[in-house]
Amino acid sequence: MDSELNGAIESSVISPSFTGIEREIRKYKEVVPDGDWIKSQLAGENHLLEMIASGHSLRDVLDALCTFVEKTAPECCCGVYLIDWSGPSFQVGAAPSLPESYIEAVEGLAVSCEIAPCGVAALLKKQVISADLERDPLWKSTPYCAHVTAHGLRSVWSTPILSRSESVLGTFAIYHRKPSLPSRQLQELIAHITHIASIAIERSQAEAHLKRSESLLAEGQRLSSTGTFWWRVATDDIQWSEESYRIHEVALGTSVTFELLASRVHPEDLPRFMDHVERARRDTSDLDFEYRLRMFDGSSKHVHVVARSTRDRSEYIGAVQDVTDHRRAEQTLSKIRSELAHVARVSSLGALTASIAHEVNQPLSGIITNASTCIRMLDASQPNVEGARETARRMLRDGNRAADVIARLRALFGKKEFTVESLDLSDAAREVIALSSNDLQRGRVVLRAELAGDLPRVTGDRVQLQQVILNLVRNALDAMDGIHDRARDLLIRTEREAGDRVRLTVRDAGVGVDDKSLDKLFDAFYSTKSDGMGVGLAVSRSIIESHRGRIWASQNEDSGATFVFSIPSDGSSERRA
């Protein structure tokens, strides 16, 4: 064996019998002079790389690769076998010159050391050269040898195709009809070709992986009803993912413009939507808001958009999620809560029922008595028409009184929508003050509002709590109505209390309450006013208690009264309990 041959087989697992093969190798070297060989090899390799770069299919690239080798080193044929390691088994990647009957046997063949040289090459990550299968002790009496020789082939060189991370992607096999060994030049060609094959296979795998990732992403977006979008601020270029098109019910591929978006956004939400867009355009602030879409069939969708500007502030990348189901579930929940709260409210008012019955009974018995008097007066031999008219007037008065009681009670306890929300008591008080500003002005009241800005939030029914505050303010106004010798000072204060509670105080400079009345203020139908019903404070107490709070009153040291309620804040263990 000469030294060149030695060099050629250095890194190969090789079967021992190759006597007389040197001649073959010299033949190649003589046929193709070195300079042309390199030139044609480079051109061929470039062509293959161009095919990969221009997106030819893996099959086409591997076919061209085999054909190139078959032309460069005549009298051989080639095959590229890919490995599916889940089997593991071989799949024919390309073998343009091998007969179908040969290829069929390779497709699905197990990757194992016993079956074929390609299995050994793949498992040992080494080139396997069997110069003459019929004389090769390793393969000569195997079914493999019989299969190869039946197709007129005698020698097989199998080289593993390795990925960048050295994993085996497949094997590259060269067959000869005569016993053969590779020259150094052929080994170089094989090295280049397997490298190009590895690039082609890895690229095709990366593309398949990308396609899988894309379809997974699309599936994920579909499942979570979340689309993505990209917005270049300077040009208003907008791109949507497939799911974004689906959410907006716009035909896939339609060019997305702000006009299109504006036609989709619910008209009531459009000003707010445009405000957010303009703000984002101005100061590249994050987007995070909800709005409604109005669909063609007239239905609405709730969508939540979140977007961040890119580091160079030229673009926004964001997601838009269809939260319609979520909102509907919330509405249903809130309705159920409202019904529960209604039941709770009604039962907590159970104590009032007796007093209500009493209050309504009085005018009713008045009506009955007056009706009998009226009949008697009219039935008399000389009907007392004037008396009957008077008793009828009393009946009317009593009837109106009963109706009034019922109407006012219905207004107070009627089943209105009840929503529980997290709210800031200072905000709630501010709204009540705004609502009462006319009354305050008319009553010449000097208002001092000390509303804490950092109040812990409370969870409750905003409208109910505002009813309580309004009632306290109205009572304070009533109490100061007859005051002329001092300023009609009214203080409304909100503050944080120990134990995670918040407190609201209404302090007036009115007539005040004496010790005896203090006990009765919150009783139903206790009123010292000529037109009073005496239910405001009773209802206020029931509302505050349903918020797990307390309400009380005290006489001021100087003049007037102070009414206070205190309820647990969101952070309170009492609230969580």
The reply on whether position 13 binds ligand ADP by CB under 6 A is: no
- Which two structure tokens, joined as six digits, stand for 427? 């905000």
Q: Quote the least distance from Cβ 481 to ligand ADP, whole Å.
A: 10
- Footprint (CB under 6 A) of ligand ADP, residues 417-456: none
Task: Tell me how far, at minimum, the Cβ of 229 lies from ligand ADP, in Å.
Answer: 55
Chain Cα centroid distance, residue 406: 49
Which of the stretches 192-200, 338-346, 435-443, 471-479 binds ligand ADP when contact is defined by CB under 6 A?
Answer: 471-479
Which residues fall within 8 angstroms of residue 220, CB to CB, at 6 or more apart?
226
Asked if 387 contacts 377 with a C-beta cutoff of 8 angstroms, the reply is yes
Give yes or no for a contact between 80 and 62, defined as CB atoms under 8 angstroms apart. yes
Residue of minimal Cβ distance to ligand ADP: 536
Binding mask 196-235 for ligand ADP (x = CB under 6 A): ----------------------------------------
Which residue lies nearer to ligand ADP by CB, 96 or 512? 512
Return the residue of 160, 182, 536, 568 that touches ligand ADP, per CB under 6 A. 536
Segment 548-567, which members bind ligand ADP (CB under 6 A)? 561
User: Considering the rule CB under 6 A, would residue 510 count as an interface residue with ligand ADP?
Assistant: yes
Calpha distance 445→460 (Å, rounded)? 30
The distance of closest approach from Cβ of residue 545 to ligand ADP in the complex, given in angstroms and rounded to an integer, is 15
Total number of residues that touch ligand ADP (CB under 6 A): 22
Between 186 and 535, name the residue whose CB sits nearer to ligand ADP: 535
Please say whether the beta carbons of 43 and 52 come within 8 A.
no
- Which H or E run contains 550? strand 550-555
- Does 532 bind ligand ADP (CB under 6 A)? Our answer is yes
Note whether 374 binds ligand ADP by CB under 6 A.
no
Q: Residues with Cβ < 8 Å from 256, sequence gap 6 or more? A: 229, 238, 239, 240, 250
d(CA 294, CA 267) in angstroms, rounded, equals 8
**436: amino acid identity, one letter:** S
**Which of 35-43, 260-268, 416-424, 473-481 is the region at the interface with ligand ADP (rule: CB under 6 A)?**
473-481
C-alpha distances in angstroms, 347 versus 352, 413, 542, 546, 548? 10, 11, 10, 11, 15
From the list 303, 533, 544, 551, which residue makes contact with ligand ADP (rule: CB under 6 A)? 533
* Residue 69 touching ligand ADP (CB under 6 A): no
The amino acid at 510: G
Regarding 359 and contact with ligand ADP (CB under 6 A), the answer is: no
Query: Quick check: 511 binds ligand ADP (CB under 6 A)?
Result: yes
Secondary element (H or E) of residue 292 = strand 287-294
Alpha-carbon gap, residue 374 to 391, rounded angstroms? 6
529 binds ligand ADP (CB under 6 A): yes
Task: Say which residues have a Cβ less than 8 Å from residue 445's Cβ, sequence separation at least 6.
Answer: 477, 480, 488, 489, 490
* 120 is an interface residue for ligand ADP by CB under 6 A: no
Of 193 and 537, the one with the shorter C-beta distance to ligand ADP is 537
Q: Which residue from 149, 369, 527, 559 is in contact with ligand ADP, where contact means CB under 6 A? A: 527
Please pick, from the candidates 198, 309, 464, 475, the single residue that binds ligand ADP as defined by CB under 6 A.
Answer: 475
Q: By the 8 A CB rule, do 311 and 284 touch?
A: no
Q: 386: buried, middle or exposed (CB in 10 Å: 19+, 13-18, 0-12)?
A: exposed
SS3 237: strand
Residues that bind ligand ADP (CB under 6 A): 471, 475-476, 479, 508, 510-513, 521, 526-529, 532-538, 561
